[in-house]
Amino acid sequence: MNQLIAPSLLSANFGNLQKDCEMLNRSQADWFHLDIMDGIFVPNISFGTPVIKTIVKHTKKILDVHLMIVDPDKYINTFKSLGADILTVHYEACTHLHRTIQAIKETGMKAGIALNPHTSVDLLTDTLKDIDLVCLMSVNPGFGGQSFIENTFEKVRKLNYLREHTKTNFLIEIDGGVNTTNASKLVQSGANVLVAGSFIFRSENPTQTIADLKNI
């Protein structure tokens, strides 16, 4: 299996982000996953621009930015300038989804669309050929450390079927509650990218935990 591992910095040690970033650089992690929350779209606030600038100084891998914010179109160029390689916005936050996707891709970033647990993958049918990544939330967005929602497996299988049926090649990313217990089944169902936060950073040996996820 060749799944990508994207540790979520939301669960990192905010008092020593440089140390955790350097650990990820040395590890088998493929991407850095950065959750941006505004306290409106989700009931939490996370990284601001100054913190992101600091993180970027210490990242040597792809920066996967997940916007959990209202009106994400306003900030597309901001995150491009900050160094994002992939910019994911929520389907539920975009009034004109196709226009948002095109605006992201025009900057040179990859465009991702995230779906909350209650949102059907069928709603993406008309935009699948324009999307580089679909992020399925396997917990309710806003906080780390939540339990995995079991229905996610069915959503992954359905999305994988749509990908094959439409002959598209977007990546399927899973965000929330990912661990070594469910990772193998997620990949077998069609997932390509596994986001894990607390499972990695709260483990006794985060580097080994990343390796375990990478090599399931």
Say which DSSP state 91 is in.
G
38 tagged catalytic: no
Task: List the catalytic residue out of 20, 30, 35, 64.
Answer: 35
The whole-angstrom separation of Cα 5 and Cα 143 is 19
The whole-angstrom separation of Cα 181 and Cα 215 is 13
35 tagged catalytic: yes
Are the C-beta atoms of residues 58 and 21 closer than 8 Å to each other? Answer: yes
- The torsion angle over the Cα atoms of residues 206, 208, 211 and 216, rounded to 10 degrees, is -110
Closest by CA position to 116, among listed 131, 132, 94, 83: 94
Are the C-beta atoms of residues 29 and 210 closer than 8 Å to each other? Answer: yes
Task: List the catalytic residue out of 30, 64, 175, 212.
Answer: 175
Q: Catalytic residues, which ones?
A: 35, 175
